[in-house]
Amino acid sequence: MKILAVDTSATAASVAIAEENKLIGEFSIDTALTHSRTLMPMLEQLLKNTGSTIDDIEALAVNAGPGSFTGVRIGVAAVKGLAFSKNLPSVSVSTLHSMAYNMLGCDCIVCAVMDARCSQVYNALFRVGGEKVTRLIEDRALSLSDLKQELKSIKEKIILVGDGAVLCSNYLGKELDNVVLAPFNKRVQTASSVAYAAFEKLKQGEKLTAQQLMPVYLRLPQAQRELNKKMGVKQ
């Protein structure tokens, strides 16, 4: 089965085509250009340079959140459009979950962290052993101080991944000597890791129609939170 995977959940964007245990091709870009300008040209070039067409694709996958509200919407909308036009099954992948697949081959706890602003991070914990990824904690938004207290109870090696990894590492300082940063080339989310996570979900029968695929947000956008605060709405 060939999967076309997409990630636009942060500043970088990437697309990949993969078969199980094989990455056929991947394009990525990290510029100031919006994903609405870069995603489809990357996808077109990826198909061209791998000698593929959209008719060769049997399933689609996307990081559906958490992440940048605009970025997530762009990626999900693109995959919904392709899924609808070709009647393809879609797989909704947690951005945090996909990043755990960056560390395949390790024996560790992966602490996936994305900067959620306001001294908070989006976070989840996973155990990686060889090629197996096991979720330990569901996706959540929490403060850096709460995350620090939680990590103190873990004695195993912990690897920080995500665009909030450096932020988290700086906050933790040298207090937790079992916590390390992932190498820079494995630190952020990639479409290939989305594909690897999607294969596992497909084995478990987790697939969606185009209509069912939706962004997954862990909290309201900043503008909505500010409006709620002015109106006295409890967050």
Instruction: Let me know whether 26 and 141 are in one domain.
Output: no
Q: Looking at residues 21-34, what average pLDDT do you find? A: 94
Residue 33 reports pLDDT greater than 60: yes
Instruction: Let me know whether 106 and 91 are in one domain.
Output: no
In a domain, 169, yes or no: yes
Q: pTM (2 decimals)?
A: 0.91
Q: Looking at residues 105-131, what average pLDDT do you find? A: 95
Q: What is the pLDDT of residues 46-84, one digit of tens each?
A: 999 999 999 999 999 999 999 999 999 999 999 999 999
Give the domain extent around 53.
Answer: 3-96+189-230
In a domain, 147, yes or no: yes
Residue 225 reports pLDDT greater than 50: no
Q: Where residue 149 falls among pLDDT bands split at 50, 70, 90?
A: very high
Residue 235 reports pLDDT greater than 80: no
State which H helix or E strand residue 59 sits in: strand 59-65
Instruction: Let me know whether 109 and 82 are in one domain.
Output: no
Structure confidence at residue 234 (pLDDT): 55
Q: Looking at residues 76-103, what average pLDDT do you find? A: 98
- What's the CATH number where 110 sits? 3.30.420.200
Structure confidence at residue 76 (pLDDT): 98
First to last CA, the chain: 43
In a domain, 111, yes or no: yes
Instruction: Let me know whether 71 and 149 are in one domain.
Output: no
In a domain, 103, yes or no: yes
Structure confidence at residue 128 (pLDDT): 98
Structure confidence at residue 231 (pLDDT): 55
In a domain, 107, yes or no: yes
Q: Where residue 228 falls among pLDDT bands split at 50, 70, 90?
A: very low
How confident is the prediction for the chain on average, in pLDDT? 93
In a domain, 235, yes or no: no
Instruction: Let me know whether 85 and 48 are in one domain.
Output: yes
Instruction: Let me know whether 119 and 171 are in one domain.
Output: yes
Structure confidence at residue 13 (pLDDT): 96
Residue 177 reports pLDDT greater than 50: yes
Q: What is the DSSP string of 69-121?
A: HHHHHHHHHHHHHHHHHHT--EEEEEHHHHHHGGGTT-EEEEEEEEEEETTEE
Instruction: Let me know whether 79 and 16 are in one domain.
Output: yes
Instruction: Let me know whether 181 and 193 are in one domain.
Output: no
> Which domain-ending residue is among 186, 201, 217?
186
Instruction: Let me know whether 117 and 174 are in one domain.
Output: yes
Q: Is 137 helix (H, G, I), strand (E, B) or coil?
A: coil
Residue 109 pairs with which residues in a beta bridge? 127, 158
For the chain, what is the domain count?
2
- What's the CATH number where 89 sits? 3.30.420.40
Instruction: Let me know whether 182 and 217 are in one domain.
Output: no
Spatial distance between the Cα atoms of 8 and 68, rounded to a whole number of angstroms: 8
